[in-house]
């Protein structure tokens, strides 16, 4: 039996072996027990045994049905623990990429400071162990790459504790789905991203290209760079199209109908309104939209940069 979807990471064999071991034992037990039960129904039916007989205990049988399952669960424990220890032991030479999860975005931060959002995904070199500290900005998320057999909760850090972590080593180039596997609110499904596994040469070229592009954007339009890194464009377009939230285009200086505490009123979109929409997004909701945006923790300077970028997106 081979249902393997290809060996994409160093964990596949261990995880798949444990899975098929348990699956096979379960099937054998199901067939064996059900088969014996059906056999007994006929063999010991009233028709075949008109007079009931008394059954005494059987020490030999009891030893067998205690010893065999004990051996089976020890087998499962051995292979499970072996895989688990490997998945929790990060190799010394691993490359660190910080993972931040929030409602409802991912952020991947590289050792050189490069940041990638949900849409851009996580790009890694092949055959390189990647250490991923997992930080949550709000609720519990789960970092899940099915093809790599990696699934780890991203838990908000209680005081005095450490962030959770995971690691993997991709052994096949390609694009793989990355999900959030913990229901984390209305737009949980939006936390769908990709892991791009490149050859080492392609990765180095990609990293250099992305880094210089990001530096250029940060100096030319820090507001746009920030909105990009925070994943804001997943909900707010720059071209006037309506996605989950209002478009940024032509927003500044516009009259909007907003709902405040259930009452409609007209407001002018100015600096103060944009600032409030970032820090307290659910206070005045633009009519026709859902109050789902979480507050964005940003500094005063960052708010000024964001407003400057929104001002640039004027209606033609
Ligand atoms: Cu994050 Cu579901």
Give me ligand 1 centre to Cα 191, in Å: 6
Q: How much distance in Å is there from the Cα of 136 to the middle of ligand 1? A: 10
CB atoms within 10 A of CB 200: 11
What's the pLDDT at 112?
Answer: 92
Q: Which pLDDT belongs to residue 316?
A: 60
Last residue of a domain, one of 54, 88, 122: 88
115 lines ligand 1 (CB under 6 A): no
- Digitized pLDDT (tens) for each residue of the chain, 316 residues in all: 334 456 899 999 999 999 999 999 999 999 999 999 999 999 988 888 888 888 888 999 999 999 999 999 999 999 999 999 999 999 999 999 999 998 888 999 999 989 998 989 999 999 999 999 999 988 999 999 999 999 999 998 776 678 899 999 999 999 999 999 999 988 899 899 999 999 999 999 999 999 988 888 888 888 888 888 777 887 888 888 887 888 888 888 888 888 888 888 888 888 888 888 888 888 888 888 888 787 777 888 888 888 888 888 876 6
Is the C-beta atom of 193 inside 6 A of ligand 1? Answer: no
Residue 309 CB less than 6 A away from ligand 1: no
**Ligand 1 pocket member 196 (CB < 6 A):** no
Nearest CA to ligand 1 atom 1: 141
CATH code assigned at 112? 2.60.40.420
CA of 145 to the centre of ligand 1 (A): 13
pLDDT, one tens digit per residue, over 261-310 is 888 888 888 888 888 888 888 888 888 888 878 777 788 888 888 888 88
pLDDT for res 2: 39
Per-residue b/e over 1-20, b at no fewer than 16 CB within 10 Å? eeeeeeebbbbbebbbebee
| pLDDT computed for residue 164 by the predictor | 92
Instruction: For ligand 1, say whether the CB of 182 is within 6 Å of any of its atoms.
Output: yes
For residues 99 and 185, state if they share a domain: yes
Is residue 130 domain-shared with residue 214, that is, in the same domain? yes
Distance 293 CA to ligand 1 centre (A): 14
Look at residues 170, 188, 220 and tell me which one is the last residue of a structural domain.
220
Asked whether residue 209 falls in the same domain as residue 238, the answer is no
CATH code, domain carrying 241 = 1.10.760.10
In a domain, 246, yes or no: yes
The count of structural domains within the chain is 3
Residue 82 sits in a domain whose CATH number is: 1.10.287.90
Distance 246 CA to ligand 1 centre (A): 22
Same domain, yes or no: 215 and 112: yes
Is 2 inside any structural domain? Answer: no
First to last CA, the chain: 61
Residue-wise over 152-170: b if at least 16 C-beta within 10 A, else e? bbbbeeeeeeeebbbbbbb
Q: Are residues 191 and 156 in the same domain?
A: yes
- Considering the domain boundaries, does residue 5 fall inside one? no
Q: Is the CB of 188 under 6 A from ligand 1?
A: yes
The verdict on the CB of residue 100 being under 6 Å from ligand 1 is: no
Residue 3 lies in a domain: no
Range of the domain at 145: 95-220
Per-residue b or e along 269-287, where b marks 16 or more CB atoms closer than 10 Å to that residue's CB: beeebbbebbeebeebbbe
């Amino acid at each position: 039996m081979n249902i393997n979807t290809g060996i994409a990471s160093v964990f596949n064999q261990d995880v798949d072996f444990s899975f098929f071991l348990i699956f096979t034992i379960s099937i054998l037990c199901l067939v064996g027990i059900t088969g014996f039960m059906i056999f007994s129904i006929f063999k010991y039916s009233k028709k075949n045994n008109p007079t009931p007989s008394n059954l005494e205990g059987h020490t030999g049988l009891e030893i067998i049905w205690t010893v065999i399952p004990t051996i089976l669960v020890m087998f499962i424990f051995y292979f499970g623990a072996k895989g688990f220890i490997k998945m929790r032991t990060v190799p010394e030479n691993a490359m660190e990429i910080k993972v931040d999860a929030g409602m409802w975005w991912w952020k991947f931060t590289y050792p050189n400071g490069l940041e990638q959002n949900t849409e851009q995904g996580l790009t890694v070199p092949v055959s390189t162990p990647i250490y991923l500290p997992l930080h949550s900005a709000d609720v519990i998320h789960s970092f899940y790459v099915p093809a790599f057999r990696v699934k780890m909760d991203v838990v908000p850090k209680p005081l005095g504790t450490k962030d959770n972590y995971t690691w993997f080593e991709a052994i096949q180039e390609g694009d793989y789905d990355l999900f959030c596997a913990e229901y984390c609110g209305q737009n949980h499904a939006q936390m769908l991203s990709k892991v791009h596994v490149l050859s080492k040469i392609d990765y180095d070229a990609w990293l250099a290209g992305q880094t210089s592009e990001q530096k250029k954007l940060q100096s030319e339009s820090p507001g746009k760079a920030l909105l990009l890194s925070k994943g804001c464009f997943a909900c707010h377009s720059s071209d006037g199209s309506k996605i989950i939230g209002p478009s940024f285009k032509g927003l500044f200086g516009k009259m909007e109908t907003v709902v405040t505490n259930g009452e409609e009123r007209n407001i002018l979109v100015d600096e103060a309104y944009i600032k409030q929409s970032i820090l307290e997004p659910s206070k005045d909701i633009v009519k026709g939209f859902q109050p789902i945006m979480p507050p964005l923790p940003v500094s005063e300077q960052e708010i000024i940069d964001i407003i400057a970028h929104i001002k640039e997106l004027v209606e033609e």
